[in-house]
Copies of this chain bind each other. A is one copy, B any other.
Amino acid sequence: MAVNPTQTRVRNAAIRLFAKKGFHGVGIRELAQAAKVSPASLYHYIGSKEELLADIMWESLERLLSAAMLATTDVADPQEKLGRLVTLHVIAHAVQAKETAVVDNELRSLAPKLRRRVIDKRDAYEQLWAETIEQGSEAGLFRPDHDGIARRALLEMCSGVARWYSPKGEIKLDRLASQFTDIALRSLSTGDAPPQPDMDRCRTIVKYTWGTRV
């Protein structure tokens, strides 16, 4: 992460503007103005506009992946694992909505080489979901016709949070997370009502990863 204050301003301005207008909708002059530097000075902190985008996306995915791994290692129960994945994913997309929106929307703006790096990260993350759903299916706990459809459906549902949720609205974050977890587990489970995952553990990981109290 950025330590230099100017670097932080640049990074934050880029996240905000890319999320609002899209990568190609933001010029470097506009970006420089938002970061309170001149267009020329901008290039002391970034390699290029595109590398800036790739860095933002990669770091966002890196945090999400590390949080998800922290939450699922040594957890045997697939329902508990999936519940934690959903909870963390939803919270991440709520408290880091702009970053995650950029990750979800701007892959196409990257040239093949940079895109590859980001996609690999994303695939590593989604692999966690795939394994968990597969384990649940094999254990007879989940009932999807097709694991891939279920994985995609749940991931898109949870990522969509970044597109509409506002922390300033009436919906509290823990209620959001618990209802999403409920929807996700209920839609996949074969048997009775699934339990809530270990929320305290998730809270700890969120605090550690994104520095946000939940």
Spell out A's residues near B (CB within 8 Å).
Answer: 20-25, 105, 108-109, 144-146, 148-150, 152-157, 159-161, 163-165, 171, 175-176, 179-180, 182-184, 186-188
- Chain B CB count within 10 A is highest, among A155, A179, A183, for A183
Chain B residues near A22 (CB-CB < 8 A): 22-25, 108-109
Q: In the assembled complex, how far is the CB of residue A127 from the closest CB belonging to chain B, in whole angstroms?
A: 15
**10 new A-B contacts at CB < 8 Å, known A22-B109, A149-B180, A157-B160:** A22-B24, A24-B25, A145-B179, A146-B171, A146-B175, A153-B157, A153-B180, A156-B156, A156-B157, A156-B161
Provide the bound-state CA to CA distance between A35 and B26, in Å. 26
Provide the bound-state CA to CA distance between A149 and B164, in Å. 10
User: Are B157 and A108 closer than 8 Å at their CB atoms?
Assistant: no
Known: A145-B179, A186-B187, A187-B183. A160 touches B152 (CB 8 A): yes
Could you name 26 residue pairs across A and B whose Cβ atoms are closer than 8 Å? A23-B24, A23-B25, A25-B108, A105-B105, A144-B179, A146-B171, A146-B175, A146-B179, A148-B171, A149-B175, A149-B179, A152-B164, A153-B157, A153-B183, A154-B157, A156-B156, A156-B157, A156-B159, A156-B160, A156-B161, A159-B160, A160-B160, A182-B187, A183-B188, A186-B187, A187-B187
Provide the bound-state CA to CA distance between A167 and B109, in Å. 24
Chain B residues near A182 (CB-CB < 8 A): 187
Provide the bound-state CA to CA distance between A164 and B155, in Å. 11
User: What residue in chain B is nearest A151 (Cβ atoms)?
Assistant: B164
User: What residue in chain B is nearest A185 (Cβ atoms)?
Assistant: B187
